[in-house]
A = this chain, B = another copy of it.
Amino acid sequence: MNRRELRKRATIRDVALRAGVSISTVSRVINHKDSSQMRDSTRERVVDAMTALDYTPVKAARDLRRRRTHVVALLVPDISNPFFSLLARGVEAAGSKVGYSTLICDSNNSEDEEQQHMSILLRQNVDGVILVPVGRPDRASLERLDRSNIPVVTADRRAPGIPHVEADNTGGSRDLAKCLLGLGYRRVAYLGGPQEVSTAEDRLQGFLDGLAEGGAAPVAVRRGDFTYDSGVSLGTEILRDRRLDAVVAGNDLMAIGVLHAAIAVGRRVPEDLGVAGFDDIQWAALVRPRLTTVRVPFLEIGQCAARALVALILSREGAEEQTRLPVSLVIGDSTCAQGKT
């Protein structure tokens, strides 16, 4: 016999009744917590009644009236990826600080699922969404978004016409390139990420710029898909060129793949070959030798995106805001600290 309490949840009416006031008075103490002028005794009676009845307002009802749900959605390609989960933490933290809950959705790296989730989200009446697009959003979905008239900001990756928050990928990559040149590396190859991801493009471009500024150029440029496996296979392939003295990957996962590929073919890192990545994911700390990389502030990106989104929600200003957060070089053991040659 489990004590299934069928007694319904107390409503604002019940509270009003018990406190001997009208429901609007109760509503007032719920909402205008501080300001509203009201006889203290009244407020007290209401508060007492609320606690006595263990009252808690029904969100759906408030939402219905106020036309606002206080829920934002975060749509990422893969929540089990360390950067996205850190980003999620940031969004959640910054959001909850200002009274927003975060609906986290996983597009499973599929544009289809992304679309699908998006339309569900709009239907869910979230107040806004933070999107990390899987690829380059197409015209149609962008329009659908626009029509829906709900605020969207993208994080980490850009999409045309949508406010975004990202790291300074170009700058970080440029610095990395210069740093490598400074260390004496000359014959470097670059393994970039997928073309349709703005982040990958920026990093590649920044790297090329950095090299160019030092009067150098890459020995080779290849494209992978940002996975460990693609790092291994591209690494193995590219390392056939024995004259290479450094390989730089567009992200840490690929860099680690290269690292392992290098070890597998008997090149010592960093003595024979320098390796560098990008992201500074936590995992990287567990890999030996420690990876030289660029720290991307994912948590901060999340927080920043959440704040930007909430700002958009509160005052529907159409400004195409864009934020670029600074990154920082992390010199590990996968490059020679004291210089090469």
**Chain A interface residues toward B at CB < 8 A:** 2, 4-5, 9, 54, 56-61, 63-64, 69, 71, 78-82, 85-86, 88-89, 92-93, 96, 101-106, 108, 117, 120, 122-125, 147, 149, 228, 256, 260, 263, 282-283, 285-288, 316, 318
- Asked if B256 and A286 make an inter-chain contact with CB atoms under 8 angstroms apart, the answer reads yes
In the assembled complex, how far is the CB of residue A84 from the closest CB belonging to chain B, in whole angstroms?
8
CB-CB nearest in chain B for A119: B56
- Asked if A92 and B79 make an inter-chain contact with CB atoms under 8 angstroms apart, the answer reads yes
A228 to B269, CA, bound (A): 24
The complex is assembled from copies of this chain, and their number is 2
Chain B residues with CB below 8 A from A64, complex form: 58, 60-61, 64
- Asked if A122 and B56 make an inter-chain contact with CB atoms under 8 angstroms apart, the answer reads yes
A267 to B54, CA, bound (A): 60
Chain B residues with CB below 8 A from A58, complex form: 64, 125
- Asked if A103 and B106 make an inter-chain contact with CB atoms under 8 angstroms apart, the answer reads no
- Asked if B120 and A101 make an inter-chain contact with CB atoms under 8 angstroms apart, the answer reads yes
Chain B residues with CB below 8 A from A89, complex form: 78-80, 106
Could you pull out 22 A-B pairs where Cβ atoms are within 8 angstroms?
A2-B318, A58-B64, A59-B63, A60-B60, A64-B64, A79-B89, A79-B92, A80-B82, A80-B85, A80-B86, A80-B282, A88-B104, A92-B104, A92-B105, A93-B108, A96-B120, A101-B120, A103-B103, A228-B286, A260-B286, A260-B288, A286-B287
- Asked if B80 and A318 make an inter-chain contact with CB atoms under 8 angstroms apart, the answer reads no
- Asked if A101 and B124 make an inter-chain contact with CB atoms under 8 angstroms apart, the answer reads yes
Query: Do A106 and B125 form a contact, CB below 8 Å, given A287-B286, A287-B287, A318-B4?
Result: no
A289 to B79, CA, bound (A): 27
Chain B residues with CB below 8 A from A54, complex form: 147
Chain B residues with CB below 8 A from A60, complex form: 60-61, 63-64, 69, 125
Chain B residues with CB below 8 A from A96, complex form: 105, 117, 120
CB-CB nearest in chain B for A256: B286
- Asked if B105 and A103 make an inter-chain contact with CB atoms under 8 angstroms apart, the answer reads no
Q: Closest 5 interchain pairs by CB?
A: A60-B63, A2-B318, A104-B104, A60-B64, A85-B85
Chain B residues with CB below 8 A from A88, complex form: 79-80, 85, 104, 106
Contact of A92 among B4, B106, B149 (CB under 8 A): B106
A341 to B127, CA, bound (A): 64
Chain B residues with CB below 8 A from A105, complex form: 92, 96, 101-102
Chain B residues with CB below 8 A from A288, complex form: 260, 263, 288
A285 to B288, CA, bound (A): 13
- Asked if B147 and A59 make an inter-chain contact with CB atoms under 8 angstroms apart, the answer reads no
A149 to B10, CA, bound (A): 13
Query: Do A123 and B93 form a contact, CB below 8 Å, given A80-B82, A256-B286, A287-B286?
Result: no
CB-CB nearest in chain B for A257: B286
In the assembled complex, how far is the CB of residue A234 from the closest CB belonging to chain B, in whole angstroms?
17
Chain B residues with CB below 8 A from A316, complex form: 4
